[in-house]
Amino acid sequence: MIIFSLVFSVVTSPNVRSLSLSSGTPISVGATYYGGEYNGQWVIDNVNQCSRIANGEFTASSLGAVVDTVCDDDNGLGYQNDVPLHNTVSFAELSNNPSSHDFSALGGLSAGTRVEIEYNGRCVVAEKRDVGLGGSAVNGHLRAIDLWWQTARSLGFTNGFDVVNVRLAGSTPLTPLGQSVKCSTPLSSQRQVVVDELTSQKQANNGQTSTRGNTKKQAKAGASGNSQSTTNTTGKVSSEATNTGASNGVLSTGISVFDDNSTKGISQYYRLLVLIVVIILITCAIWWYRFKRIKPKKASKAKSIKGFRRKKHRTKKRK
């Protein structure tokens, strides 16, 4: 029974493919946002900005948003020496599995790594400034990136739970806050589709996920004092003018390495087939054990009784 449970868990467990942005090939990943949400208008609901607004440091209208009545979402502190994410074009790298806490769904990027993000034909260059746990798949794609709400607003990412295309941006300047550009070379036309091969049960969780995608509080990897921060001494992102959101280098002709539907279908059928074979083998083993161990004992008992009767009969005959 223990062996069967182990085999069953291996066969039915999701095959999460760890991503890597080491090449210039765009990758499609699941994305969410945090720190704020869109509900007809942008609503700030992280503790840091809400508190600073309440203290009169700045106003919500200056950020083009309103303040939530609760303000209980993640504020992005706890990473990079607690430098606030206020007015940054940034994102958090999530984990391959919410229970593993590896914070490496994009290959384990170092703090400050710049990534070009495309959504609906618009591009921004943002930097890694946070990490998080992650969660269920987003439309069949590994949930790998969590956009700071001001970055999401620049992209028009109002859904809060959708697929984006990402690739390394090298030393390309950060996109100015509140801006995005039309992608010079659409990443979606050259993307490498990476599928998170999940069971239908996990995909069904997508429908139960809040459109915010971030009701959880992100776990932090701890202060990384040795990582380089791209902020100045005041903790604000340096405003680097740019008229492009494209990453460095020329992209090679993109080929879809993993097809969404076919990969998921083959994987699910394969697992089902393996599970059926395992069940058949276990059933055969049980029947073999019963016939080899139980029935021979019954036959032996019957033989001994028969011999006893024959011996008794012969004894009477001698008398």
- Whether 282 and 156 map to the same domain: the answer is no
The tokens 């979402």 sit on which residue? 73
- Whether 188 and 290 map to the same domain: the answer is no
Whole-number pLDDT of residue 79: 87
Tens of pLDDT, residue by residue over 197-212, are: 333 333 334 433 334 4
Lowest-pLDDT choice from 33-37, 53-57, 75-79: 75-79
Count: domains in the chain: 2
For residues 161-175, give the mean pLDDT. Answer: 95
* Residue 296 phi, psi dihedral angles, 5° rounding: -60, -35
Tens of pLDDT, residue by residue over 273-307, are: 788 988 999 988 888 887 776 555 554 554 554 55
DSSP secondary structure, 83-149, as one string = ---TT--EEEE--SSTTT----TTS-PPTT-EEEEEETTEEEEEEEEEE----S-BTTB-EEEEEEH
Q: How far is CA 35 from CA 101, 147, 164, 307, in A?
A: 20, 9, 19, 87
- Whether 310 and 226 map to the same domain: the answer is no
Helix pair angle (260-293, 295-318), 10° resolution: 10
- Whether 111 and 245 map to the same domain: the answer is yes
CB of 53 closer than 8 Å to CB of 94? no
Look at residues 209, 227, 258 and tell me which one is the last residue of a structural domain: 258
CB of 46 closer than 8 Å to CB of 76? yes
pLDDT above 90 covers a percentage of the chain that reads 44
pTM above 0.85, yes or no: no
Using DSSP's 3-state secondary structure scheme, residue 40 falls into coil
* 7 occurs within a structural domain: no
